[in-house]
């Protein structure tokens, strides 16, 4: 898999193996699929002691955050829909510069949702990822690491 920054400021991911094309396809839906576990992490209450503040947050801030996160995932979904397959069945993804922030949001949301849904500990996430990957939890960890690598590439190549 090759990652490169485009001259226009966007990025291109080439020679994406099929399993990773599938993980990209799942990216925008991960937070919704794990919404029960993810909501507490993505939309935490600003206060456990001040009911008024928590209620105002839930009524006024959280809906806007949900809308912004949803719009980011929709942009990412459109970019993913444009993945082109090559003769070797590897995919190529091009992302325009105006969508980079949406990608960073979607990758972060998906990683947080997977971490919460599968109750990963800091120690587990700090340990090297070893195969074989036989369970949904193993696959979720592989997804998280793939999403982390993409996020790191996007951020580090922007410098």
Q: What is the pLDDT of residues 13-44, one digit of tens each?
A: 999 988 899 999 999 999 888 888 788 888 88
The pTM of this model reads 0.89
Q: What is the pLDDT of residue 42?
A: 85
Average pLDDT of every residue of the chain: 90
- Mean pLDDT score, 96-122: 95
Q: What is the pLDDT of residue 40?
A: 81
- Mean pLDDT score, 77-106: 88
Which residues have CB under 8 Å from 46's CB, separation 6+?
53, 54, 57
Q: Residue 54's pLDDT band (boundaries 50, 70, 90)?
A: confident
């Amino acid at each position: 898999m090759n990652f490169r920054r485009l001259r226009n400021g966007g990025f291109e991911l080439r020679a994406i193996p099929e399993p990773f094309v599938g993980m990209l396809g799942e990216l925008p839906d991960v937070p919704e699929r794990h919404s029960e576990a993810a909501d507490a992490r993505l939309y935490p209450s600003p206060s456990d002691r001040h009911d008024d503040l928590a209620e105002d947050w839930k009524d006024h801030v959280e809906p806007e955050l949900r809308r912004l996160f949803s719009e980011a995932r929709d942009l990412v979904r459109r970019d993913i829909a444009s993945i082109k397959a090559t003769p070797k069945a590897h995919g190529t993804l091009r992302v325009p510069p105006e969508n980079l922030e949406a990608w960073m949001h979607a990758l972060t949301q998906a990683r947080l949702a997977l971490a919460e849904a599968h109750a990963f500990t800091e120690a587990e996430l700090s340990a090297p990822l070893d195969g074989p990957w036989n369970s949904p939890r193993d696959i979720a960890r592989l997804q998280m690491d793939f999403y982390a690598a993409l996020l790191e590439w996007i951020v580090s190549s922007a410098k």
